[in-house]
Amino acid sequence: MERLLAILEDIQPGVNYAECETLIDGHYLDSLSIISLVAELEEEFDITIPAVEIVPENFNSAKALWNMIQRLQEEG
């Protein structure tokens, strides 16, 4: 989770990612940030994020992102 928080902070500094649950709905992450985030997550966690996973439910909070990452790693 710490690596995820560091990646988020690099992409869009100044957001309390540990507690924010409206990253998409609150417009903290825009489409370009999401594209960068997907690329970083795929490289860092050795996963592939299919287009069907790129939905607000998976990207609205660090916890939701972490759950998606863990699920995709398990599905491997």
Question: Domain limits of the chain?
Answer: 2-75
Check whether domain 2-75 has CATH 3.20.20.70, yes or no = no
pLDDT tens readout for residues 17-31 = 999 999 999 999 999
pLDDT score, position 76: 83
Q: Are 48 and 11 in contact (CB under 8 A)?
A: no
Q: What is the mean pLDDT of the chain?
A: 97
Q: Are 66 and 4 in contact (CB under 8 A)?
A: yes
What DSSP line would sit under 22-66, residue for residue? -TTTTTSS-HHHHHHHHHHHHHHHT----GGG-SHHHHSSHHHHH
